[in-house]
């Protein structure tokens, strides 16, 4: 059983919603890709953005820190796009 540190557990009222996660993830991916966040389509598969594994793992780690959760480094391979990740993680 995985044990979370109490300082990494957010009260439910403080959990980001799926739209907030979508916006955060689109903005972060846009930074890595060097494009405007508005050009990121949340329904487009991650594979269409040609992300390498180091970017995917870095963004997953940063998102986990932002959410206060431990996320699997394979998150971008388990879910096809930003929309599906946000649905999975959103409050």
CA distance 18 to 16: 7
For domain 15-89, the CATH architecture is Orthogonal Bundle (1.10)
pLDDT tier for residue 7 given thresholds of 50, 70 and 90: very low
Q: What's the predicted TM-score (pTM) here?
A: 0.82
Residue from 3, 71, 65 nearest 85 by CA? 71
Residue 6's pLDDT is what?
37
Residue 14's pLDDT is what?
77
pLDDT digits over 57-77, tens only?
999 999 999 999 999 999 999
For the chain, the domains span: 15-89
Residue 51's pLDDT is what?
87
Residue from 50, 60, 55 nearest 85 by CA? 60
């Amino acid at each position: 059983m995985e044990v979370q540190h109490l300082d990494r557990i957010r009260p439910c009222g403080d959990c980001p919603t799926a739209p907030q996660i979508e916006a955060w993830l689109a903005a972060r991916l846009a930074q890595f890709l060097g494009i405007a966040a508005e050009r990121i389509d949340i329904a487009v598969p991650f594979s269409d953005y040609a992300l390498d594994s180091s970017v995917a793992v870095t963004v997953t780690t940063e998102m986990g820190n932002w959410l206060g959760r431990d996320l699997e480094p394979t998150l971008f391979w388990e879910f096809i796009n930003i929309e599906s990740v946000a649905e999975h993680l959103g409050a």
